Amino acid sequence: MTASPSAADAASLAQRRALIHTLQAAGHLRSPRVASALLAVPRELFVPGLDLAEVYRSTEAIVTKRIDGVGVSSASAPNVVALMLEQLDVQPGQRVLEIGAGTGYNAALLAHLVGPAGHVASLDIDEDLVLAAREHLHTAGYDQVEVLTADGALGYPAERAVFDRIILTVASRDIAPAWHAQLARPGGRLVLPLALRGLQRSIAFEPADNNNNNNDDNNNDDDHLVSASLQACQFIPLRGLLAAPMLRVSLGPEGGLSLALPDETTPLPAEAFANFFREAHSLWPSGVAASLDDVRDGLHLWLVAQDPNIYSVWAEPGARMVPNLFGIPERVRGSLCAVDPSGVALLGWLGHHHQAHQAGAELGVTASPGAGAVVAHLIDLLRAWQAAGRPRDRDLRIWAYPSGDRQAHARPDDAGAEAVVVQQRWTRFLLRWLRWN
């Protein structure tokens, strides 16, 4: 028996209200305006054919397109949607550019937030996704959203276009010149899942002169951006000109794994990574204890920032050869590895008690014979993190300079002596954990 439209509408509204309550209780949702948008836009219209309970799961993304078995587009998990909209801080009447149209759901939320006096433009590289997003937006009553087929790395396809807010719903390891040029100054804000040497964090960037609130000295002549907030996230990578590399390694019948790379090269060929998981290993204690929260919200980002040859490793839930370092076995097993020409050193826990990891347990390093140097290097980094006061993600500030900006080269210590430099094609990122002061 098919439910009447009124019953379906009531069920949808109840799910939206429950979702808002869940997100508020978890601390993902604070703004009444974002809550109003989530209440107003029925998510099921953008992922048709799914059960309402699946549509409104707060922490689950829904993959909507695959190429060769790999997800290339998805409806982001509602908790991540809410967090990024909080970061973006959209105001009525603003012009917003979205890179990654996906299903069109996020664009509908943005259209609700900007209101009738604002404008939302959404770009996607795939024409089929653009057509589907337009159809979903029409069904939901948001025909005013402009959805275009374009490579997001090139920005909005019009000269001198300017947007108060720019948001990416796909991960990028760089800030494209077009986003930099099309962001309003002052007052603009750019939110993107930034892949810092493979690890993603949703960063809200503002021009350095926004309200002079970034504690930067002598920045009036600079055209750089400064981070305003940072949140954990995991997004499908941007495709096109700014596509991020991913090394996929087959492990035969045991499945496979993926390594998020900082660039297109590695010190070892793919087969060497596969062989690592087939060899006998030894385990070295590090002398450093950490909880799951310490690893996920501090150590992970700190380690990949220190060394470009530390990779995030992801495998299927059943791939027991990869330590469950991040505590998410129901979706994926993940860990970190340090790599040099001598081999691979994999980070995991000593012992097997999950509850101990919640409170804190010693970290250990697994490696094959002959990889002693890379083991020692990884343990040294763990001890350096501890000696530095165990910096957390919330302590991090990021400066983003256009690579051609003379200031980026003339004042390399702008962020302090402890700054870590991550150089990309178009952007020079300076990372500094401010609690070190």
pLDDT at 330 over 50: yes
Q: How far apart are CA 254 and CA 393, in angstroms?
A: 34
- CA proximity to 344, closest of 247, 279, 399: 279
Residues 197-256 have pLDDT tens digits of: 878 899 999 998 775 544 444 444 468 999 999 998 877 777 777 776 666 776 655 567
Task: Identify which of 3-12, 29-38, 237-246 has the greatest average pLDDT.
Answer: 29-38
> Residue with structure tokens 């750019």?
190
Domain ranges, ordered by start, for the chain: 63-232, 246-387
Strand-pair partners of 185: none
Listed in sequence order, the residues at least 6 apart from 303 whose beta carbon sits closer than 8 Å to its beta carbon are 310, 336, 381, 382, 385
- Give the confidence band of 436 by pLDDT, cuts at 50, 70, 90: very low
- CA proximity to 270, closest of 248, 246, 244, 243: 248
**pLDDT, averaged across the chain:** 85
Mean pLDDT in residue range 308-335: 77
Per-residue pLDDT, 220: 44
Per-residue pLDDT, 215: 47
At 430, which amino acid appears?
A: L
At 218, which amino acid appears?
A: N
Active site residues: 76
Per-residue pLDDT, 72: 59
Mean pLDDT in residue range 374-395: 94
Domain spanning 63-232, CATH class: alpha beta
Q: Where are the beta strands (DSSP E) in 332-387?
A: 333-340, 343-349, 361-367
Residues 411-426 have pLDDT tens digits of: 444 444 468 998 888 9
For residues 103-114, b (16+ Cβ closer than 10 Å) or e, as one string?
bbbbbbbbbbbb
Per-residue pLDDT, 244: 66
Per-residue pLDDT, 217: 43
Q: What is the pTM of this model?
A: 0.88
CA distances from 188 to 162, 183, 427 (A): 9, 6, 18
pLDDT at 155 over 70: yes
CA distances from 433 to 24, 388, 395, 397, 399 (A): 28, 10, 5, 6, 12
Mean pLDDT in residue range 364-369: 88
Cβ distance 107 to 134 under 8 Å? no
Per-residue pLDDT, 318: 67
In degrees and rounded to multiples of 5, residue 339 shows phi and psi of -135, 135
Among 35-49, 152-166, 250-264, the range scoring the smallest mean pLDDT is 250-264
pLDDT at 23 over 80: yes
Per-residue pLDDT, 434: 83
- Give the confidence band of 86 by pLDDT, cuts at 50, 70, 90: very high
Per-residue pLDDT, 405: 60
Among 63-72, 137-146, 298-307, 384-393, the range scoring the smallest mean pLDDT is 63-72
Using a pLDDT cut of 70, give the percent of the chain over it: 82
SS3 of 56, please? Answer: coil
Residues 41-80 have pLDDT tens digits of: 999 999 999 999 999 998 877 776 676 655 656 678 899 9
Determine which helix (DSSP H) or strand (DSSP E) holds 17, and give its type and residue range.
Answer: helix 5-25
Q: Count Cα neighbours of 199 within 13 Å in the Cβ-side half-sphere.
A: 29
Determine which helix (DSSP H) or strand (DSSP E) holds 391, and give its type and residue range.
Answer: none
Ordered DSSP codes for 236-287: PBP-STTPPPEEEEE-GGG-EEEEE-SSS--SS-HHHHHHHTTS--EEEEEE
Neighbours of 219 (CB within 10 A): 19
